[in-house]
Amino acid sequence: MSGYPDLTAIRSAHRLIAPYIHRTPVLTSENLDHLTGVSLFFKCENFQKAGAFKSRGATHAVFSASAGQLHNGVCTHSSGNHAAALSRAAALRDIPAYIVMPENSSRVKVEAVVHYGGIITFCRPTLVSREQTLEKVREKTGAIEIHPYNDPVIIAGQATAAKELIEDTDHLDVIIAPVGGGGLLSGTALSTHYLSPGTRVIAAEPAGASDAFRSFRDGTLHPSVEPETIADGLLTSLGSVTFPIIRDHVDAIVLASEGSIIRAMKLIWERMKIIVEPSAAVPFAAILEGLEELRGSRVGIILSGGNLDLDRLPWITGS
Amino acid sequence: MSGYPDLTAIRSAHRLIAPYIHRTPVLTSENLDHLTGVSLFFKCENFQKAGAFKSRGATHAVFSASAGQLHNGVCTHSSGNHAAALSRAAALRDIPAYIVMPENSSRVKVEAVVHYGGIITFCRPTLVSREQTLEKVREKTGAIEIHPYNDPVIIAGQATAAKELIEDTDHLDVIIAPVGGGGLLSGTALSTHYLSPGTRVIAAEPAGASDAFRSFRDGTLHPSVEPETIADGLLTSLGSVTFPIIRDHVDAIVLASEGSIIRAMKLIWERMKIIVEPSAAVPFAAILEGLEELRGSRVGIILSGGNLDLDRLPWITGS
């Protein structure tokens, strides 16, 4: 697949992965609607296989590759949800997944990869070490690399979340997705562009990791430098494939403070009785912080995942 | 309504309350099935209005009473979910709800009552003080008392949870509900008896509040004396209405330790990405502790509610 995934590519991705992923529910909350003055539709990718939307893209990448390509397995470097999702998808095709993880990855994320049978190589927690270690793993194993976001095949997979959200709701005025590397966001923007062109797409990003906001504003790709946010899924930079799609098809990128992200996450837990990880709370945090123009609108929010260490919650000091 | 609610009474309760409650989803978890060797069907009353099954009975009591009976409002004593559910139901009929709460009730429970417009009178945290204070409130206001469980009208309302669970699943071998005062359990036993007589009904109770276990074993009603458990919804004793139904229609009562309850609650949060309160985790805790005979069976579990103080989690020391 080259260039932007088109609608045919997204539909084909959806058919291919449907047997292996959940069609996750869209939940509403009278309580949060009342609090914000917005009609909210939450697409619950926290209930997705392996606990995040990442299963869509990873499963698409693994199942759209040929047996020959997969002969020596797949590999990636990731400290997070992509690692677990790729391990799971590889196990479904009975091939090995080699995962390079920084040695400071959270226990929960490491356990998830182990649970799905991924083979871990630890490295130092720097991008250089991650890339060098992955290169060594690739040379040694002959596995093909599955990038977490900067790949049209991955983007077509992630696009199926917004496709389902659009199919399962009446007209939405806006869809908001969080942005890290931009795989989910670019897929969301494309599905919305093809299937619901009257719907605006807004991205929400932590103020402490505002590279996408700045890249979008300046029209040039800024790397993510020393990001600091609790939203650990959103630390990465946009890529050469995701940035142009975002530049062309996203209407706005807004920022959310750490305090709002924590407040949003706790409100979702408390009022909706569902577990979302900090990254998934960023769109709702942006609504809490302002976005006055959304009052009275119908707004879809992609809750990107639900994986976090339940022993360490940001609102409990010392945990 | 006198004696046991019959099937007509339960169906009528369901029709009456349907516009005001959620038909909550039944969720499954491949992960927890794999862990236990049991096919589990979780009836998610944590997603119910006001966060617990209590909305079913309270709404039924309020909406089946006449305007004359409700002229001066409703009252109850409760430190928990019944208080919020009754306040909400009363607000829907535009009548006052007078709630007597122990002065040591959790902040979260007090806030929920205030949120739904309940009028609180605080009392000392003893049964005597609760009953005396309620008597005074009743004399002063003329409100009718809505008991949290020992009332056929309440039981018919709570019975609708198991009715939906049975309607929304293929044959279940067993249904497990937690037991405190026995409103949910007796309703569950009746719906199962009428609608799925081949299904066994098992109750799960904290070992630290084992009055129902002992009453069931001895065939005589033992009060709950100084119960000690994190499952704060299950501290009460069976009543004169609930005990005979349970004696006649429940197959077994099993106990769960505090450690298992906490482990069960955390597993449900972590693997299913949903928030349940400690009381709701007791049936799954009982499965984790043993119940070897359930291996390979299809088991329905009623997750009774999802209200708790997110600032104080039992697995985080010092919180």
**Residue A238 neighbours by CB distance under 10 Å:** 28
pLDDT score for B1: 46
CA dihedral B139, B115, B104, B302 (to 10 degrees): 100
Chain A: residue nearest B108 by CA? A270
Q: What angle do CA B252, B257, B259 make, to 5 degrees?
A: 145
Chain A: residue nearest B50 by CA? A271
Query: In this complex, do B310 and A266 lie within 8 Å of one another by their Cβ atoms?
Result: yes
Q: Could you give phi then psi for residue B62, rounded to 5 degrees?
A: -70, -40
Query: In this complex, do B276 and A276 lie within 8 Å of one another by their Cβ atoms?
Result: no
Q: How distant, in Å, are the alpha carbons of B139, B267, B285 from that of A310? A: 47, 10, 18
Which string of DSSP letters, residue by residue, matches chain B? --SS--HHHHHHHHHHHGGGS----EE--HHHHHHHTSEEEEEEGGGSGGGBTHHHHHHHHHHHS-TTTTTT-EEEE-SSHHHHHHHHHHHHTT--EEEEEETT--HHHHHHHHHTT-EEEEE-SSHHHHHHHHHHHHHHH-PEE--SSSSHHHHHHHHHHHHHHHHTSS--SEEEEE-SSSHHHHHHHHHHHHH-TTSEEEEEEEGGGTHHHHHHHHTS-----S---S-TTS-SPP-TTHHHHHHHH--EEEEE-HHHHHHHHHHHHHHH-B---GGGGHHHHHHHH--GGGTT-EEEEEE-B----TT--TTSTT-
The residue with tokens 């991650």 is: A130
B213: confidence class by pLDDT, cuts 50, 70, 90: very high
Residues of B in contact with A46 (CB under 8 A): 273
DSSP 8-state assignment for residue A126? S
pLDDT at B121 over 70: yes
Name the percent of chain B lying above pLDDT 90: 89
Query: In this complex, do B313 and A315 lie within 8 Å of one another by their Cβ atoms?
Result: no
The number of C-beta contacts closer than 8 angstroms across A and B is 46
How far is it, in rounded angstroms, from Cα B314 to Cα B215? 29
B317: confidence class by pLDDT, cuts 50, 70, 90: confident
pLDDT score for A127: 81
The pLDDT tens digits of the residues spanning B58-83 come to: 999 999 999 999 999 999 998 789 99
Query: In this complex, do B275 and A276 lie within 8 Å of one another by their Cβ atoms?
Result: no
Cβ-contact B165, B283 below 8 angstroms? no
| Any B CB within 8 A of A316 CB | yes
Mean pLDDT computed over B33-51: 97
pLDDT at B319 over 80: no
What are the 10-residue block averages of pLDDT along chain A, 319 residues in total?
84 98 96 96 98 98 97 93 97 97 89 95 90 96 97 98 98 98 98 98 97 97 91 92 97 97 98 98 96 92 97 88
CATH fold match for the domains A7-52+151-303 and A55-145? yes
- The minimum CA-CA distance between A136 and chain B, rounded to whole Å, is 34
CATH code for the domain defined by B7-52+151-303: 3.40.50.1100
B126: confidence class by pLDDT, cuts 50, 70, 90: confident
pLDDT score for B125: 84
CATH fold group of domain B55-145: Rossmann fold (3.40.50)
pLDDT score for B297: 97
| Any B CB within 8 A of A276 CB | yes
pLDDT at B2 over 60: no
Chain B: residue nearest A50 by CA? B271
**Mean of the per-residue pLDDT values for chain B?**
95
Query: Distance of alpha carbon A197 from its chain centroid, rounded?
Result: 22
Which of the pair, A226 or B99, is modelled with greater confidence? B99
pLDDT score for B292: 81
pLDDT score for A290: 84
DSSP 8-state assignment for residue A291? -
| Any A CB within 8 A of B313 CB | yes
Domain ranges of chain A: 7-52+151-303, 55-145
